[in-house]
Amino acid sequence: MQDKDFVHLHLHTDYSLLDGAIQIKPLAERTEQLGMQACAVTDHGNMYGAISFYNTMKARGIKPIIGCETYVAVGSRMDRSIRSIGGEKANFHLILLAKDYEGYRNLSRLTSKAFTEGFYYKPRIDKELLAQHSKGLIALSACMSGV
């Protein structure tokens, strides 16, 4: 099946530990085989594969869409006391896609600060950080744990 208009916007690679299995090179090969013109990678909480993904896709003439499935803290990213609320996890998932270079830089800032300022079991951002670094980003609700 070839559908050039279909684009994956929520996809995890092997950089999403325990969740994604595909490596970047086979992803690029399969995307090309299917005739897709673009593809996004949204690994959990990190952008470790972003440069490799970008270069590999560009080399094949496929538009790379760099993203991340972020963890958004219920309250402040600085709060380390809340792990769950009423038995539910105290963070939600939010997919962020960079629509331009400014978006890429903001996404990089968000994921970096998630590790350096918001890490509590997972790298977390909050609404404050998102408001500061939202330009150039597209947000999607993610999965069942989405915002």
Residue ranges of domains in the chain = 24-140
* Mean pLDDT (whole number) for 70-78: 88
Per the model's pLDDT, the better-predicted residue between 43 and 84 turns out to be 43
How many other C-beta atoms can be found within 10 angstroms of the C-beta atom of residue 49?
21
pLDDT at 38: 97
Q: Over 60: is that where the pLDDT of 1 sits?
A: no
Query: Under 8 Å CB-to-CB from 77, ≥6 apart: which residues?
Result: 113, 114, 117, 118, 124, 125, 126, 128, 129
Structure confidence by residue, pLDDT tens digits, 9-60: 999 999 998 788 899 999 999 999 999 999 999 999 999 999 999 999 999 9
pTM for this predicted structure: 0.90
At the fourth CATH level, the homologous superfamily of domain 24-140 is Metal-dependent hydrolases (3.20.20.140)
How many other C-beta atoms can be found within 10 angstroms of the C-beta atom of residue 101?
9
